[in-house]
Structure 1
Amino acid sequence: MQNIIIIGATSAMAKEVAKLYAIEKANLYLIARDSSKLDTIKQDLTVRGANTVHTVQFDANQFDSHQVLIEEAFDALGRVDALLVAHGSLPNQELCQTDSMKVIEELNTNGVSVISLLTHAATKMEQQKSGNITVITSVAGDRGRQSNYVYGAAKGMVSTFLQGLAQKISKSGVHVLDIKPGFVDTPMTAEFDKGVLWVKPEKVAEIIKNRIEKRSSVSYAPGFWSLIMFVIKLIPKIVFNRIKL
């Protein structure tokens, strides 16, 4: 029976991951900002077969609460098999371009808060000498683009942090996985026109769980994004600055 912590548990992809673990009768410790949504999710996961579902409300930008939050989660479960960090927001890029405080807020939510939580969680994982840390970042972190470079900067910061963390913590038997989804059809992207590259959160959830179980190091989800981002990163700067992405 697995013990799973999910931070940002009300996000579309996180909910689908939780459902997959509930079917396997896991013990779930769900952390998110919206307590009413957490209650609804708890009821659903219990019906689906979860052994236990514990919920905690938190604000990602209250950094002084992070250490206690992580310690209480680990204490409640005893041993943590997997930690999934999935919280975040999709900034208004145009607003960020004229409001530096909004930029700082979004960098804190999508970047700094994740790194803060991971710092405390990594210490606990190292102590138990086992487990998986998985974080949902984004392909947007691979190269800054005019349409979402504040969001991309935050995700890129987390991905770089995860690279170093993975190298350090692997010596303790802990696996670190950076999941970089492409276009995912979620409430956060409801206003976007959908095309052939878009996938449902259920698909990404299956990928995440499969890679956790295999202790995979493959980040892009779905995998075809590795080719897309390879091409985008190869575009010369002089050309890149003339196109709209």
Structure 2
Amino acid sequence: MESWILLGATSAIARAFARRLATEGATLFLAGRDEAELEAIAADCRLRGAAGAEVLAFDARDPAGYPALIERLAAQEGVLNAASFVGSMPEQAAIDAEPRLIAGVIADSFTGPATFLQMLAPLLEARGAGTIVGIGSVAGDRGRLGNYVYGAAKAGFATYLSGLRNRCARKGVHVLTVKPGPVDTSMTWGMKMPFMTSPESVAADIARAVKRRRNVIYSAPIWRLVMTVIRLIPEPVFKKMSF
């Protein structure tokens, strides 16, 4: 039976993905900061058929806590998989007013999960199996006026995942990069965005991509086309655009 650790397990997409895994009988390690909320998610997953659902403390801004998680996972037998849903996106105006917020965005959306996955990768490689799923964002495909700090963090994470995929493929471990467009979650509350999708739809896309061993997916798929067009806009023109 397979096991999954979900970083940032209280996020809407992580919850939807956890529910899917639970119905398949997976063992779940739900990692995050809100223990009470994690316990509620774990109870729900057990009711849905999870072989087990254990809560683990994880704070992307506190790497000192990572070794204990790695040690717990090392004790779990069988195929081990990981998915990182961690990230934070303050309004760009708030960051402009207080640049020190950048450090938290980078830690949550890039360096924290990357550090953890870097520590976890040898364990999966030693077993010669497993999947790592990293949640990036279409925001990382090109710096935009409205969220370029968050976009920069997700761009860095996507590049990291690309290199990790290259490394781990040699040892039988697959790495999937997921680039969602706007998703109807608390992070986008009140925002009006095109092609907005649901956490359940993103979770379904992830599940299919894991089974098919895809490398990079966009969710919803239309964002692959949209971002291709956006990347092709000449810089002199792009600088005058307000989106």
Q: Same fold (TM over 0.5)?
A: yes
SS of 1:84's partner is strand
SS of 1:219's partner is strand
* Residue type at the aligned position of 1:71: E
Cα shift readout 1:98-133 (whole Å, capped 9, x = no counterpart): 323111121111111011111111121111111100
Unpaired stretches in structure 1, ≥5 consecutive residues = none
The answer for the alignment partner of 2:211 in structure 1 is 213
The answer for the alignment partner of 2:45 in structure 1 is 45
* Residue type at the aligned position of 1:81: L
The answer for the alignment partner of 2:72 in structure 1 is 72
* Residue type at the aligned position of 1:146: L
Q: Give yes or no for contact 1:135–1:178 (8 Å, CA) kept in 2.
A: yes
Cα shift readout 1:190-222 (whole Å, capped 9, x = no counterpart): 121254x01111000001011111111232112
The answer for the alignment partner of 2:227 in structure 1 is 229
The answer for the alignment partner of 2:113 in structure 1 is 114
Alpha-carbon offset, residue 21 of structure 1: 0.8
Alpha-carbon offset, residue 238 of structure 1: 0.3
* Residue type at the aligned position of 1:130: A
* Residue type at the aligned position of 2:242: K
Unpaired stretches in structure 2, ≥5 consecutive residues = none
Displacement over 4 Å in runs of 4+: none
Q: Give yes or no for contact 2:179–2:216 (8 Å, CA) kept in 1.
A: no
RMSD: 1.2
Alpha-carbon offset, residue 48 of structure 1: 0.8
2:31 & 2:232 partners in 1: Cα distance?
Answer: 38
Identify the range of structure 1 (233-242 vs 2-11) with the bigger mean alpha-carbon deviation. 2-11
Q: Give yes or no for contact 2:138–2:179 (8 Å, CA) kept in 1.
A: yes
The answer for the alignment partner of 1:129 in structure 2 is 128
SS of 2:59's partner is coil
SS of 1:56's partner is strand
Q: Give yes or no for contact 2:9–2:31 (8 Å, CA) kept in 1.
A: yes
The answer for the alignment partner of 1:30 in structure 2 is 30
Q: Give yes or no for contact 1:28–1:53 (8 Å, CA) kept in 2.
A: yes
Identify the range of structure 1 (85-94 vs 177-186) with the bigger mean alpha-carbon deviation. 85-94
The answer for the alignment partner of 1:63 in structure 2 is 63
Q: Give yes or no for contact 1:74–1:80 (8 Å, CA) kept in 2.
A: no
